[in-house]
Amino acid sequence: MYVHYHQDYWNTWLPLAEFAYNNSDHNSTKQSLVFTVYGRDPKFDSAKITQDTPAGKLSKKIQSVQQDVKRELEVAINRFKSYVDKIRASPHVFNPGDMVWLSSKNIKSTKPTKKLSERWLGPFSILKKVSTNAYHLRLPSQ
């Protein structure tokens, strides 16, 4: 899609981009969004647009499409899950006495701007393990 250098009329092309997106096959469902919702692809021939599909036939077709989409989505979910499971790291186990860094994300700083504050504080010694991902740390007194 072409939009000229000044990019001041891109919104006139937006409906065409939306139409193209809705009519392209998607990886997870293997079909277009329009086909998924309406049970058929849009017709471009104006002579064919006036032809109606009987309601019963259309209803069965839409149900079939929805079943196909459900099956494809289950396959996609399993594919995404297996991918995420491969890259998901198991949490590191720390023991009392280990030295760790503490994120300053939820700690108020005395500095005027958080942008220049330290992102990590420490290292601090672990006193005890509270749960799988929570520990009591030996922090300096203020």
Strand partners, 136: 128
Higher pLDDT, 90 or 31: 31
Q: Where are the domains of the chain?
A: 10-87, 99-138
Helices (H), 10-54: 14-22, 33-38, 46-49
Question: Mean pLDDT score of the chain, rounded to an integer?
Answer: 81
pLDDT at 116: 79
**3-class secondary-structure state, position 131:** strand
Tokens for 99, please give them. 């030295």
Task: Tell me the pairing of strands 134-138 and 99-103.
Answer: unpaired
Q: Which tens digit of pLDDT belongs to each residue from 99-109? A: 999 999 998 88
Identify the band that residue 91 occupies on the pLDDT scale cut at 50, 70 and 90. Answer: confident
Question: Which run of H or of E encompasses 128?
Answer: strand 120-131
Between CA 43 and CA 48, with CA 44 as vertex, the angle to 5 degrees is: 60
Tokens of residue 20, six digits = 């193209």
Backbone angles phi, psi at 62, to 5 degrees: -65, -40
Sheet holding 99-103, edge to edge: 99-103, 120-131, 134-138
Q: What is the mean pLDDT of residues 113-119?
A: 83
Q: What is the pLDDT of residue 103?
A: 94
Residue 125 near residue 106, CB atoms below 8 Å: no
pLDDT in the model for residue 9: 66
Query: What does the alpha-carbon distance between residue 114 and residue 102 come to, in Å, rounded to a whole number?
Result: 16
pLDDT tens digit string along 32-83?
888 888 888 876 654 554 455 677 777 777 777 778 878 888 888 899 998 8
